[in-house]
Structure 1
């Protein structure tokens, strides 16, 4: 596999997961447009890639507005001659319970994650279609968007919306040879570093040591670098047949998430009145009610704090 001659835009790539994606794309041969709101982080990311023999440039701007999407595309075209790959990774958190979440908390997260994904994909997809070029759209989701999570109304809505958009774009862009997929990473990040359950894994990673096998294998929880290979693979020609998918990855584990499908189907002649449901709903639904949120097994004794 090689990405030689390809050009990638990676939003939110000054540090963390986004930087790992950008570095792996560059390692595979792609030129990369780094994006971050932190000028120093963006400059450092470019320097890191260049020090390893790669090519990179930076656009310092907040993702969300159409103007930022236009700047990212312009940087790719003017610096490297075009674009082939877009990874939408930029994000922020404003975690609060429903009754404490403000309009600004909600709008900020939706604006960066959901609107930012939309504006960047629209800009790049339009360019690729007009140029008659195939391309790769890779959008970053989250287990929270798949399952929900306490205190993350805004984040769950955004990440679920991203996967919904990806499935739609896979249909709309298929004829143009442009794939659209979502990646659901499970990795040590600023968010997981504050959760006591993951403390042993995060601390091992910070010391440069391998995470305990319980986290890497049983939970599928790992480092940013563990996710980067999936990003590079989906960006390659070898993955031209994969589109509209949600792929989970972390630690030693990879998963293909299913699309939502009905688990119960029943019919009632004349339709389902309140009385009909009162008579039959318990039998129909109770044994098949779906769980919400993620549940984790107890930590092994040696990993407990």
Structure 2
């Protein structure tokens, strides 16, 4: 099954995949997400793999200083809403059939290095949602992972994109290595194998992971754990004062 908001693009993509069907529409719409999964099960008998690779670029110059509430919600819907709705629709089917693989798409932007608002927030939320799905569905044989891709697409090419990346570097948000990588990204063919691996039986023991695929680089984010700043028992010690915390953080 191939989904996309642009009907022509969805049908064109499906035609390039033997036996594939297209069901266009925004999967942020629960009815579209439900229909997508229902058609898959009706036509193919089950759903073994769900890959979410939806999203949209943040408006140029978007910042917490000028973004509107409507723009922010639209970005969250495009990234988090689409991922949630398809996972919500597919998960019960995968559990009932005894397994499945979910691969969602995140972004380096969740680290905040690219600025913005709804885009990094949405991608960060996709990461957290995926980790929660992986934890909850592990006992049912359903895996869930994230890929943060770096590739040259229509969203990451052209004068406007290059100007945006250059400005982020000038402001110090983007370091020189990331700046060069953003302007010289490899084609999507370098990213696809990581998605294929996570969807395959070769990754049956891999779940709850956030991968990076950019050109010839494949990496994985270590799971975040807190480092100790200070500790005292609460049974026989008073709370930390603001000044004590400040001294420990230094």
Superposition TM-score tier, normalisation by shorter sequence: 0.7 to 0.9
Cα deviation, residue 108, structure 1? 0.7
Q: 1:175 aligns with which of 126, 136, 139?
A: 139
Separation of aligned partners in 2, 1:150 and 1:167: 23
2:224 — aligned with what? 260
**Counterpart position of 1:152:** 116
Segments of 5+ residues of structure 1 without an aligned counterpart are: 1-32, 200-214, 283-305
- 1:119 and 2:79 correspond: no
Q: Which of 84, 100, 121 is the matching residue for 2:48?
A: 84
Partner of 2:244: 276
Matching residue of 1:133: 98
Q: Show structure 1 runs of 4+ deviating over 4 A.
A: 196-199
TM-score (norm 1): 0.70
SS state at 2:238 partner: coil
Contact map agreement 1:220 1:249 (CA 8 A) in 2:
no
1:73 aligned residue: 37
Using the size of structure 2 for normalisation, the TM-score is 0.84
CA distance in 1, matches of 2:183, 2:240: 41
Whole-angstrom distance in 2 between the partners of 1:85 and 1:234 = 10
Q: Gapped runs of 5+ residues in structure 2?
A: 167-179
> Is this contact kept in 1: 2:28–2:78, CA < 8 A?
yes
State the match for 2:173 in structure 1.
none
CA–CA distance in structure 2, aligned partners of residues 278 and 148 of structure 1: 25
Q: Distance in 2 between matches of 1:198 and 1:155?
A: 15
Provide Cα deviations, 1:50-101, integer angstroms capped at 9, x if missing partner. xxxx221101111212111111102211222221100011112233111211
Q: Distance in 1 between matches of 2:58 and 2:246?
A: 40
